[in-house]
């Protein structure tokens, strides 16, 4: 017996409204492709360039708890801010972030990363210095590569010392597109 | 024996929703089955975090569904209908409460809805909220006071 989409939708939204979900997720369309966005009661927990939830549900459960459920309401705030960002109307995100289950070094690097302004770039070395570990640019690269909240935590604004883009977990095309949107490159 | 990890709720829900709906339709008919379906999985969500292993999940959710069906039939009995004159239609109490409690802080809202919409005891509300029983009782009473102030002002 198949569940009607309406019944399915009503259950998911009721669960989110009643606060019974540890982490809710949904797909958000964007100019750099569909994003799988996930949020807990603490805030935005994950943005993935892979929109297929298979294989990601376990990861989300490890962050926030086993009650992982798809629901559009859970990501309403994130969807709105992302839409505004991609429309060029938002230069800073106001979303609170869920950085649970990350190592202290990772958190301190991501907090410094969050300070890099819209439309500007910085280097791995400079970010390492600002996190108090000037020689850890390679470790900063790893943190960028594993950044679980890309776009909002702007690892696309981190480039090599010579100005080359180096790499991006979501692919260099996306990094280029984001920097172009922000006017950081032509 | 190794403990089986609890699957993400989404997988549990997708695996069992058809069978739950089938059971509820058989017991309640198509019309009442929809509300009972929602209530079954909301109850499952409330208790899900407290599960310490993933064995017998199918039997567990079917038991919840049967309990919801029993509660639904009990509510529908004529003698109890006489008492429920305040309710204008057949919507379950938790749906009545949803718009009323809009705007309450999330914890208070959940406590009010679970207490007065679902008629859950405070120990289960505490488990659903991940708090102590006292904190759950406190949240429900603060929520009700806040609603009262809002309706009188």
SS (H, E, C) A167-179: CCCCCHHHHHHHH
Query: What is the residue-averaged pLDDT of chain A?
Result: 96
A44, β-bridge pairs: A39, A97
As given in the structure block, the two tokens for residue A74 are: 């859970």
As given in the structure block, the two tokens for residue A179 are: 């920097």
Confidence category of residue B80, pLDDT binned at 50, 70, 90: very low
3-state secondary structure of B89: coil
Assign residue B53 a region (left: φ > 0; alpha: ψ between -120 and 50; beta: otherwise). beta
Give the C-alpha separation, A68 to A153, whole Å: 23
**pLDDT of amino acid B114:** 76
- Looking at chain A, the number of H-run helices and the number of E-run strands are 7, 6
A40, β-bridge pairs: A23, A43
Beta-carbon separation of B10 and A65 below 8 A: no
Element (H, E) at A158: strand A158-159
How much is the average pLDDT of B93-105?
68
CB of A52 less than 8 A from some CB of B:
no
Please identify which residue in the block is written with the tokens 């982490």.
Answer: A23
Q: Is the pLDDT of residue B34 over 60?
A: yes
A161, β-bridge pairs: none
Establish whether A155 is a catalytic residue. Answer: yes
Which residues in chain A are closer than 8 Å to B41, comparing Cβ atoms? 11, 15
Residue A160's Cβ-side half-sphere holds a number of Cα atoms within 13 Å equal to: 7
Report which of B150, B148, B151, B147 is spatially closest to residue B109, judged by C-alpha positions.
B147
Q: Is the pLDDT of residue A20 over 70?
A: yes
As given in the structure block, the two tokens for residue A156 are: 């696309």
- Cα R_g (chain B), whole angstroms: 17
- Cβ atoms B108, B139 nearer than 8 A: yes
CB of B57 less than 8 A from some CB of A:
no
pLDDT by residue (tens digit) across B114-138?
Answer: 777 766 777 777 777 767 788 888 8
The minimum CA-CA distance between A1 and chain B, rounded to whole Å, is: 5
CB contacts < 8 A (A, B): 73
Which residues in chain B are closer than 8 Å to A60, comparing Cβ atoms? 8
CB of B13 less than 8 A from some CB of A:
yes
Give the C-alpha separation, B79 to B68, whole Å: 19
CB of A21 less than 8 A from some CB of B:
yes
What are the angstrom distances between the C-alpha of B121 and each of A49, A180, B4, B111, B118?
43, 56, 29, 10, 9
Beta-carbon separation of B38 and A65 below 8 A: no
Nearest to A20 among B37, B98, B128 (CB): B128
Nearest to B113 among A10, A18, A53 (CB): A18
CB of B100 less than 8 A from some CB of A:
no
Q: Is the pLDDT of residue B24 over 90?
A: yes
Q: Is the pLDDT of residue B87 over 60?
A: no
Report which of A132, A125, A87, A90 is spatially closest to residue A111, judged by C-alpha positions.
A132
What are the angstrom distances between the C-alpha of A87 and each of A80, A82, A175, A178, B27?
11, 8, 17, 12, 51
Q: DSSP class of residue B116? A: I
How much is the average pLDDT of A55-65?
95
Q: Is the pLDDT of residue B2 over 70?
A: no
Beta-carbon separation of A66 and B113 below 8 A: no
The minimum CA-CA distance between A175 and chain B, rounded to whole Å, is: 31
As given in the structure block, the two tokens for residue B56 are: 């017998």
CB of A62 less than 8 A from some CB of B:
no
As given in the structure block, the two tokens for residue A107 are: 């958190």
Q: Is the pLDDT of residue B69 over 60?
A: yes
Q: Is the pLDDT of residue A138 over 70?
A: yes
């Amino acid at each position: 017996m198949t569940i009607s989409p309406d019944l399915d939708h009503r259950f998911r939204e009721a669960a989110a409204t009643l606060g019974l979900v540890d982490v809710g997720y949904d797909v958000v369309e964007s100019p750099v492709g569909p994003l799988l966005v996930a949020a807990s009661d603490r805030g935005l927990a994950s943005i993935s360039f892979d929109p297929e939830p298979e294989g990601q549900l376990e990861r989300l459960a490890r962050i926030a708890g086993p009650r992982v459920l798809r629901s559009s309401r859970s990501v309403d705030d994130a969807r709105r801010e992302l839409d505004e960002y991609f429309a060029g109307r938002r230069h800073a995100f106001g979303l609170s972030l869920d950085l649970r289950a990350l190592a202290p070094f990772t958190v301190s690097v991501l907090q410094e990363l969050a300070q890099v302004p819209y439309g500007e770039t910085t280097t791995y070395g400079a970010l390492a210095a600002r996190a108090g570990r000037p020689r850890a640019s390679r470790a900063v690269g790893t943190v960028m590569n594993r950044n679980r909240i890309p776009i909002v935590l702007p690892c696309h604004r981190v480039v090599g010392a010579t100005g080359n883009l180096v790499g991006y977990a979501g692919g260099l095309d996306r990094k280029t597109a984001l920097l172009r949107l922000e006017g950081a490159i032509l | 024996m190794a403990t089986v990890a609890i699957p993400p709720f989404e997988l549990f829900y997708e695996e069992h929703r058809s069978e739950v709906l089938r059971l509820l339709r058989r017991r309640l008919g198509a019309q009442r089955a929809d509300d009972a379906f929602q209530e079954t999985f909301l109850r499952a969500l409330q208790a899900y975090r407290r599960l310490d292993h993933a064995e017998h999940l199918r039997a567990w959710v079917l038991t919840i569904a049967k309990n919801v069906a029993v509660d639904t039939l009990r509510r529908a009995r004529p003698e109890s209908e006489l008492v429920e004159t305040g309710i204008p239609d057949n919507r379950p109490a938790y749906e009545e409460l949803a718009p009323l409690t809009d705007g309450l802080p999330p914890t208070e809202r959940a406590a009010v809805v679970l207490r007065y919409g679902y008629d859950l005891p405070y120990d289960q509300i505490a488990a659903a909220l991940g708090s102590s029983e006292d904190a759950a009782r406190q949240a429900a009473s603060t929520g009700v006071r806040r609603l009262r102030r809002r309706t009188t002002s």
